Structure 1
Amino acid sequence: MSTHNEKILILDFGSQTTQLIARRIREQKVYSEIHPYTLSLERIKAMQPSGIILGGGPASVYDEDAPISDAGIFELGIPVLGICYGAQLMMQQLGGRVEKAEKREFGKAELSITYTAGLFAGLETAPSHYQVWMSHGDRIEEPAPGFVATATSPHSPYAALRHEQKPLVAVQFHPEVAHTLIGNDILRNFIFDICNCQPTWTMHSFIDATVAEIKQRVGSDKVICALSGGVDSSVTAALVHRAIGDQLTCIYVNNGLMRTGESESVLRFFREKTDLTVIDVDATEYFLGKLAGIADPEEKRKRIGFGFIKIFEEEAAKLGEVKYLAQGTLYPDVIESVVFRGKAPIKSHHNVGGLPERMQMELIEPLRELFKDEVRELGLELGMPEEAIFRQPFPGPGLGIRIMGEVTRQRLDILRRADVIVLEE
């Protein structure tokens, strides 16, 4: 992962909106990273974050199995913002009291600001109430020593707090969601005024740093990239090509399961609009043979996936010694998800499942720090046309999993005609 001069560290306690916090901060051109609440104090120190955010979560801080981060973070001198569960955890760990609320707050609430500095700097007291979004069944009954209220709501006397000497602030509501109308103001005040960050994380700076990183790592070695025509693999290829030029070879496998004109359109774009070296493999007959007589959708997925790996291996072997595989893994794929109370963890994600291990290649994942909307922004910054950036998504197994039962040429033709009619309407 790239190094960043400034970053906001977000500790995840299981909230559904944790990723939204990261995106809201990045929208302000400040880099942010999500890590599980179990992140050690030593690693936090080594990361040298400009600020730390304790996210929300479904647990109660007084539960026996409540997720608890290291309380030492409050002694590092680094600004900390607690959001919802994170606010309650901050209070409890520092000597306050959190209890089950008599009146739960879920949904819109009216916030009354009593201190127009810090998190609420620039927010006038003229409108006596601001709409915010609450989602909690507990409330702070007594703040920790040194904390004072900066805002209240009808059912939360401590809807927001600040420490009088340390850079510690907390809010009982969710500033990251759109329903909190002053949410962006609050987050901006935290990252710029309290954490003293600068808005320097842009796609332009990302390109410069990533290109330099790829050049240094790859040297004179060869890189291959599985190209699908989707935005992730397309932007990956464009970025890697920016770094190493003709050392990159892209392989496009036509499995015969694409929409009408899909493969032709993809290949035409890359050959006419880019300088990429693209190997086109028409494997229609191979895939139809592998799918003959197969009706189970999961079995079809597996056969298509294994078939793709086989074809890709064969084509890569023709190129001689290749050390690296470029892959369009995105940030949501690599975030270590926090799991509570027996919930199954999200399955790991690989764009080309098993390929790096089988082929003994090292992975290059230049997009692994980015969300999907950032990938599109990056593509535009690289000069790619909108037709490539905003093309309609299409799954790798293609029409093969849209067909009920066995995949045949006749069924593929019928489905393609139907798809054209739908798209034209």
Structure 2
Amino acid sequence: MQNQYILIIDFGNQHNQLVARSVREHGVYCEVKPYTITIDEIKSLNPVGIIFTGGSNTEITKLGIPILEVETVVENDVLKNFLYNDCGCIGDWSMTRYIEAKITDIRNKVGDGKALCALSGGVDSSVVAALMSKAIGSQLTCVFVDTGLMRKNEGDEVEEAFSKNFNSHFVRVNAQDRFLNRLKGVTDPETKRKIIGEEFIRVFEDEAKKIGKVDFLVQGTIYPDVIESGVGDSTVIKSHHNVGGLPSVVDFKDLIEPLRPLFKDEVRKIGMELELPDYLVWRQPFPGPGLGIRVIGEVTKEKLDILRDADYIFRDEIAKAGLDRDLNQYFAVITNMKSVGVTGDERTYDYTLALRAVKTTDFMTAEWARIPYEILDLASRRIINEVKNINRIVYDITSKPPATIEWE
């Protein structure tokens, strides 16, 4: 797919992804590259314009390509003028064109081979499964790995949705014990992410052997996953299980990641164009490592079961209040901190649960959500009364940055 190209050169500015999203919203394709990019690499990309975020480079200015320097968030009118007047952009970036081009690419790459799709049931993997199914149909097998790190009832919901709605094969793998055994005694967040990522791949390799010769592994990697896992010399915010957490050797010919250049809102647009049901397209975002990174400290079945019940109640109250479309992500986190409480006339010493809700346009920055006190009160009372081993609830009022959306 040939689109006009805007190059964003990152000098360590935390707003680089906001700038990128703004460019895309104007119908122009762009990518973020590190400041270490060479002149020859820039020429090979053939950009119609260059945006510096947080710095500049005198050699690049000699290329004769229009340049915009940005320190923070760029004003809409300034950006539009730069793109359409200075760079001569025509707005040729759209999800309709992207779908058409990507289906052709997938068919050419796969040929008469087979592909295995890593299906979590989240928005990204749902959309990539639909896109792959449209491209290669029965040559695709969607494998849903029930890691034991899923939300309440989620495994059954995923199976119900994907075993009936796609022209591809569906396999559910129950691997709870396998994942929990690997995570025993592990408390470091990055280590947990890498263990979960590696185990994912190993499970897929095992399933591929059962299916027969499988050439390609399909993943729902999206652009923020890539950026947060580190672009060039950029700082790694956190490793995503499908980027930085991948083992170096896998038993597939190649990876297929059709959504890799896209942001979350672009992924949803593709889902709608592919006529996926709303409950899949607007499913609450869920990290690849699942509840493994919403259990602070060591992951145990006891803590997972507590968290599942508490998280379900919080999401239920948000939905009842009609806020489920207004909030971009909301969930519960079980901490490894215990505190003294009182239940009835008895002293308790149980877990502290944190609730988290944010509003965001691109998931690269986010504001904590101002949920009405009455709703927080209802959720808190229900959780304390209905879920054992929790006696204290706190609400996270930290934006991103300085925090990330997830706690680990």
State which of 242, 257, 266 in structure 2 corresponds to 1:374.
Answer: 266
Identity rate, percent: 50
Q: State whether residues 329 and 350 of structure 1, in contact with CA within 8 Å, keep that contact through their aligned partners in structure 2.
A: no
Distance 1:414 1:44 in 2: 51
**Aligned residue for 1:383?**
275
Q: Residue 402 and residue 51 in structure 1: after superposition, are their counterparts in 2 closer, same or farther (change >3 A)?
A: closer
- The count of residues paired between Structure 1 and Structure 2 equals 313
Distance 2:307 2:239 in 1: 31
- Structure 2 residue matching 1:273: 3-state secondary structure: coil
Distance 1:15 1:266 in 2: 38
Q: State whether residues 193 and 240 of structure 2, in contact with CA within 8 Å, keep that contact through their aligned partners in structure 1.
A: no
**Aligned residue for 1:331?**
223
State which of 128, 142, 149 in structure 2 corresponds to 1:250.
Answer: 142
- Cα distance, 1:288 vs. partner? 5.0
- Cα distance, 1:334 vs. partner? 3.1
Distance 1:357 1:295 in 2: 23
Q: Residue 413 and residue 220 in structure 1: after superposition, are their counterparts in 2 closer, same or farther (change >3 A)?
A: same
- Cα distance, 1:309 vs. partner? 3.5
State which of 68, 83, 101 in structure 2 corresponds to 1:81.
Answer: 68
Q: Residue 346 and residue 400 in structure 1: after superposition, are their counterparts in 2 closer, same or farther (change >3 A)?
A: closer
**Aligned residue for 1:171?**
none
Q: State whether residues 10 and 35 of structure 2, in contact with CA within 8 Å, keep that contact through their aligned partners in structure 1.
A: yes
- Is 1:211 aligned with 2:103? yes
Q: Give the letter aligned to residue 279 of structure 1.
A: V
- Cα distance, 1:223 vs. partner? 0.8
- Is 1:69 aligned with 2:57? yes
Q: Give the letter aligned to residue 312 of structure 1.
A: F
State which of 29, 36, 39 in structure 2 corresponds to 1:38.
Answer: 36
RMSD over aligned Cα atoms: 2.8
Q: State whether residues 3 and 93 of structure 2, in contact with CA within 8 Å, keep that contact through their aligned partners in structure 1.
A: no
Distance 2:275 2:135 in 1: 14
Distance 2:297 2:20 in 1: 42
Note the 1:346-425 alignment, pairs <5 A. 346=237, 349-351=240-242, 353-354=245-246, 357-400=249-292, 402-403=294-295, 411-425=303-317
- Cα distance, 1:273 vs. partner? 2.9
State which of 6, 9, 21 in structure 2 corresponds to 1:11.
Answer: 9
Distance 1:78 1:404 in 2: 48
- Cα distance, 1:349 vs. partner? 4.1
Q: State whether residues 240 and 288 of structure 2, in contact with CA within 8 Å, keep that contact through their aligned partners in structure 1.
A: no
- Cα distance, 1:401 vs. partner? 5.0
Distance 1:75 1:289 in 2: 57
Encode CA deviations 1:119-161: one digit per residue, 9 max, x unaligned: xxxxxxxxxxxxxxxxxxxxxxxxxxxxxxxxxxxxxxxxxxx
- Cα distance, 1:419 vs. partner? 2.8
Q: Give the letter aligned to residue 327 of structure 1.
A: Q
State which of 223, 242, 252 in structure 1 corresponds to 2:115.
Answer: 223
- Cα distance, 1:414 vs. partner? 3.8
Q: Residue 401 and residue 210 in structure 1: after superposition, are their counterparts in 2 closer, same or farther (change >3 A)?
A: closer
Q: Which runs of 4+ in 1 moved over 6 A?
A: none
- Structure 2 residue matching 1:263: 3-state secondary structure: helix
Distance 2:61 2:298 in 1: 60
Q: Give the letter aligned to residue 218 of structure 1.
A: V
Encode CA deviations 1:43-82: one digit per residue, 9 max, x unaligned: 222222111222224xxxxxxxxxx5252x4343322222
**Aligned residue for 1:193?**
85
- Structure 2 residue matching 1:373: 3-state secondary structure: helix
Distance 1:303 1:263 in 2: 21
Distance 1:309 1:424 in 2: 33
- Structure 2 residue matching 1:268: 3-state secondary structure: helix
Q: Residue 45 and residue 358 in structure 1: after superposition, are their counterparts in 2 closer, same or farther (change >3 A)?
A: closer
Q: Residue 198 and residue 404 in structure 1: after superposition, are their counterparts in 2 closer, same or farther (change >3 A)?
A: closer
Q: Residue 82 and residue 229 in structure 1: after superposition, are their counterparts in 2 closer, same or farther (change >3 A)?
A: same
Q: Residue 371 and residue 310 in structure 1: after superposition, are their counterparts in 2 closer, same or farther (change >3 A)?
A: same
Distance 2:106 2:291 in 1: 35
Q: Residue 46 and residue 392 in structure 1: after superposition, are their counterparts in 2 closer, same or farther (change >3 A)?
A: same
Distance 2:211 2:314 in 1: 41
- Structure 2 residue matching 1:416: 3-state secondary structure: helix
Q: Give the letter aligned to residue 81 of structure 1.
A: L
The answer to which of 232-241 and 409-418 deviates more is: 409-418
Given the two structures, how large is their TM-score scaled by the length of structure 1?
A: 0.66
- Structure 2 residue matching 1:359: 3-state secondary structure: coil
Q: State whether residues 330 and 372 of structure 1, in contact with CA within 8 Å, keep that contact through their aligned partners in structure 2.
A: yes
Q: State whether residues 118 and 144 of structure 2, in contact with CA within 8 Å, keep that contact through their aligned partners in structure 1.
A: yes
Q: Residue 22 and residue 354 in structure 1: after superposition, are their counterparts in 2 closer, same or farther (change >3 A)?
A: closer
Q: Residue 221 and residue 356 in structure 1: after superposition, are their counterparts in 2 closer, same or farther (change >3 A)?
A: farther
Please tell me whether Structure 1 or Structure 2 has the larger radius of gyration of its CA atoms: 1
